[in-house]
Structure 1
């Protein structure tokens, strides 16, 4: 074999190693969301690097530097300067929901993909604008929900669809999401300040936890828009939550089904679970790795314990984002992370906020 041939083989071997081990480059826009800590934790590491962070609150910056022994050079005081200097593949948005549109406005024209923490928006108008920016600039715009990492979520959705002959059509879904309350569980003041501000978060528990059930129901119905949205809200702890509700129930009606979404900052314990009732049986996901189901001819539930190896669930949203960017994942129609799902979620949240303010049911057009 000639030296030239050997050199070419060596070059292609080296190039393939670069391709195999090349890391997706991320930057973060905001650290005030309580979930912003995840990417610094060992269990959320992957084939990506965090190359820049933009955060206006310098107290929060100092807190993160100290907590995770971060280099000060990682931080930027100007978002656009960070985008231009780092030239990342993707932006991770972990600030107020009201900032999502501006983050996308500046990233999309630069061809930079974006993942925002849930929800995409509480305004249908802003969601539509982000959708157009993503389409016009050919970027991925994903939305991260914790329940997207649960094997039980994937198992329930898969089983309900592949066993439609056994279960029949979807008739009702009941979602329970929430906890004792953000202040009660001890979230940081930098998070609490905007989470309880209707200008920055849209509402309180209605947006914070109502979005989970809407997101899952949108996939269960293959992107069907509900015919109507009714939301009832209350504030049981007005001394703590002075501007937003801490209790919300959202009812969605579809042509052949309904969803009851119970979002609360008053549960006696943390919960993210759901019950899905079909014509001839039901499925329940009481825990992140447990699925209960019963066919119509059974007298007892079948209890199945599931894990990510069984369901193929990504437990790491950052690796999921990286794999979408690198083309290793093709997003499923109306998947939980997808823009098409979450634009619908934003429309429903917008209508729910209107319903809660007016006391009237809001009709939605397909």
Structure 2
């Protein structure tokens, strides 16, 4: 099923692990370069800017091919736009298959052809069914799952999650007004099932190739579960989907439940993330708690914004200070000590910058240098009235 050579894929995984060990300081740069030279691997690119550049180049290449084909095909299928869209989608999957055969993985060009294939396929289904949203979402879900199983792109896994969510939503719309009004609870149930299924699969899987996609789906379900019961999301979507404005002085149905849910779930995420040392769940919990505060403030602003921010900053400062003081000497469990597998250069650079700004550091001339420093009357590094 997987399009790539298994040996090259295994070697790429080993190289990623070796790079993590190098960044953590467990192996030297020379040892990593020795490993890199001895293992043949897939043609990939970890630099996001370079990958984005190749993605834009791939989009230009794909659009050029499709534009040339469209000029020819339009003469044959003037009244059948869906056929042209289907052929354009086939160009995307053929190009993606060709790039995978050439061992390109996450390099940028293959991302462009994958995106083009799924977009054209969705447009083809939409034009063939007069814009049937449920069928478009269902086809994209299946197509994204198949492309992820074959090409292992995380973008396919994310599109599959979003399309599956849209499929559940449109199915609820098709059934009737009752399921439409119960959509938050249906989404909670869907997210809960998806979370436990992906969690169980992660614990049982012996295939590392699909681990990142399952992890992405697992975290996506956490976010979806929270947003499905968030008070602001539920209230605003009820206006959009049901067309019912909430009169002043009244509240939405099950409002107490959604109030409690909006704050209880982020706190549960944070506590469980700390207990299981799950950093991603902890981040999701903190961001969700921040959005929960915004959600309530959006409707009930008890204090002016500047006073609320000041009080919140004071609370966060003291909470962070006393927490750091309590855990900074711990070696196990929740600790403030630096994780060697995380890049700590940012913290080190910040410390240097703060030190430099707090001390009066004046540039001095190197022995033997013809450039003289210290001639400025202002805050410059040696500028004066003379050249």
When normalised by structure 2's length, the TM-score is 0.28
Higher strand content, 1 or 2: 1
Instruction: Please say which structure displays the higher CA radius of gyration.
Output: 2
When normalised by structure 1's length, the TM-score is 0.29
